[in-house]
Amino acid sequence: MRDYLLTLCVTAAVTYLLTGPVRKFAIATGAMPEIRARDVHREPTPRLGGIAMFFGLCAGLLVADHLQNLSSVFELSNEPRALLSGAALIWLIGVLDDKFELDALIKLGAQMISAGVMVAQGLTILWLPIPGVGTVALTPWQGTLLTVALVVLTINAVNFVDGLDGLAAGMVCIAAAAFFLYAYRLWYGYTIEAAAPATLFAAILMGMCLGFLPHNMHPARIFMGDSGSMLIGLVLAASAISITGQVDPDVLKLFEGSTRQATHAALPVFIPLVLPLTIIAIPMADLVLAIVRRTWKGQSPFAADRGHLHHRLLEIGHSHSRAVLIMYFWSALIAFGTLAYSVHSTSMWIVLGVVALSAIGLVLLLLPRFTPRAPRWAQSVVPPRYRRRKPPAVPAEAEGEAVEEREPVPAGVNGATAIGHRSRFTDRSKAGARG
């Protein structure tokens, strides 16, 4: 665990330290597009944040290659090299898009080529565990098509959800954390070496997102752009492909008792037939809804609009920060709820806890104007917006003026005379203060 934490920290530090210079570079090169109709920010903001994230990825892989406990991943598997090759290609296309606004079809072709590069180097789905059936071996063509489809879906899901400050990086970080915990359990809990690359990829992905988030939280000083969103989407897809297509459920049979039970034990991170990636269900659902919505209107599936889930949260009255936190909440609930169910699938407390948290999430959705206040003992650790406001202190001189102004008006004095009385009282107070 220490080696993974060291890799995560190095990746986060490199990403964080490089984001500032990258921001200056983006401003100097003019990578600051004009505000579009669908944007929610009010000032032009530089993009190209994916440059810092890519160098963070390279730093994480370089450090892991020199660590004793992680160097075996590079010796026994070609997956890290496959990931770096596909990431470099998709990152270059993203940088060009952030600067020159490439056509959507060109980006789609680049995504498919990047996935094909990874498949050619061994990062592909070899078999598909199906609950109730068992392990189904895939032909090379089937594995290639399924891998490319999963990479393209994940990249566009992350790209579509990148609409608010800190939203995409935070949601991908939550998904990567769930991936890391489950892959680490397979690697060290079941001693399955095939899960080691996915564990490393997830740790590096968390570092990339955590290092970029301080610069990207609202109000964002820099955007990751397509160079960042497509990059982290590809790394997340590579983690899912590695642990899904390379880990044989027959190995889990030694611990679980049968192939069917082993398949069910690994189900939370395996690819179901309908929803390819359950732990990023929110971005996937947003992607599907966007495609249906745009095609229903006769538009291109890649035509931008303001109909995404985060846009709808803003329309019903949620603030920018609260909309992001709500999306974080639902992503964490689905990801870690699925993770907890994979560990204790027979426990009803997990199901009841997920139901209770879902009810809390629905209440938060229906109360956009409600601002919770933290208890007094937690005032020093929560953001200022959630602290209890203290009444402003009134100076002694101002208090004296207020007392004179509130002095009762004698009976029988009309409104004009009353105003004159109050004015004289106020003037005397001010004169006394000056004296």
What CA–CA distance (Å, rounded) separates 91 from 85? Answer: 10
Tokens of 397: 């001189």
Token pair for residue 199? 């564990």
* Secondary structure (3-state) at 394: coil
**Contact criterion met (CB below 8 Å) for 202 and 173:** no
Going from the C-alpha of 255 to that of each of 86, 179, 191, 192, 244, the distances in angstroms are: 35, 21, 11, 11, 18
Separate counts of helices (H) and strands (E) for the chain:
17, 2
218 phi, psi to nearest 5 deg: -65, 130
Q: Is 159 annotated as a binding residue?
A: yes
Burial class (CB in 10 A: 0-12, 13-18, 19+), 360: exposed
Helix (H) or strand (E) holding 74: helix 71-76
3-state secondary structure of 120: helix
Task: Determine contact, residues 56/208, Cβ cutoff 8 Å.
Answer: yes
Q: How far apart are alpha carbons 237 and 96 in whole angstroms?
A: 22
Residue positions in the annotated binding site? Answer: 159, 226
Q: Binding site for Mg(2+): residue ranges?
A: 159, 226
